[in-house]
Copies of this chain bind each other. A is one copy, B any other.
Amino acid sequence: MTQGRPMRADARRNYERLLKVAAQAFAEHGESASLDDIAKRAGVGSGTLYRHFPTRQALLEAAYVDRIEALGARADELATELPPGEALGEWLYELVVGTLQVRGMKALLGSAVTGGGALALTACATTVKGAAARLVRAAQARGALRGDVEPIEVLRLVHGVASAAELAGAGEPEIRRYLSLLNEGLRAG
């Protein structure tokens, strides 16, 4: 982003501490973690938090943007290592695991794939959608996935699998199991 001036040193320090603390807090308490508490834990006043991040959503997104980008990069890495069908499967698995390990990310990814899609044009949304699209299209080209499925539908269904696994207690076996069931459905046709 454009920045007229570089941030003042203390401002930058606080910004980064807020991000770190926020990531922990969201992971621990979910998307509705107390913002005042985050500010306190970061050792700054609440005004400082609200100056840097005007809304809860802004903070949520900033806190996880690097993790999301790592997921995007991981998609390409998997694409070179594995055949398309397996690459997609493995990436989705890692997506679900990430979603469940870090409770705040579930909300973030959920809002990234909602509705008409008009509103949620955030950076995270485009990153995830892009990665999913690449893997899905590749798998379809190889016939490892039915052709009439849109990438965003896959993301939504995977979000659903995450919800199901969450209900089941979020154990790794459940995730693998539910994902493979979904996979069967996505392959047929």
Residues of A bordering B, CB below 8 Å:
110, 113-116, 149, 153, 156-157, 159-165, 167-169, 177-178, 180-186, 188-189
- Cα–Cα, bound, A181→B189 (Å): 9
A177 proximity list for chain B (CB < 8 A): 153
- Cα–Cα, bound, A178→B156 (Å): 10
A110 proximity list for chain B (CB < 8 A): 167
Shortest Cβ distance from residue A120 to the other chain B in the assembled complex, whole angstroms: 10
Given A115-B169, A156-B164, CB of A189 within 8 Å of CB of B184: yes
Q: Would you call B157 and A178 a contact (CB within 8 A)?
A: yes
Q: Would you call B188 and A184 a contact (CB within 8 A)?
A: yes
A113 proximity list for chain B (CB < 8 A): 167
Residue in chain B with minimal CB distance to A161 = B160
Q: Which of B116, B156, B183 lies in contact with A185, CB distance below 8 A?
A: B183
Q: Which of B116, B163, B185 lies in contact with A169, CB distance below 8 A?
A: B116
Given A181-B186, A186-B181, CB of A114 within 8 Å of CB of B167: yes
Shortest Cβ distance from residue A179 to the other chain B in the assembled complex, whole angstroms: 10
Q: Would you call B178 and A167 a contact (CB within 8 A)?
A: no
- Cα–Cα, bound, A178→B180 (Å): 15
Q: Would you call A156 and B168 a contact (CB within 8 A)?
A: yes
Given A182-B181, A184-B189, CB of A159 within 8 Å of CB of B169: no
A149 proximity list for chain B (CB < 8 A): 181
Residue in chain B with minimal CB distance to A179 = B185
- Cα–Cα, bound, A114→B185 (Å): 24
Q: Which of B114, B163, B185 lies in contact with A159, CB distance below 8 A?
A: B163
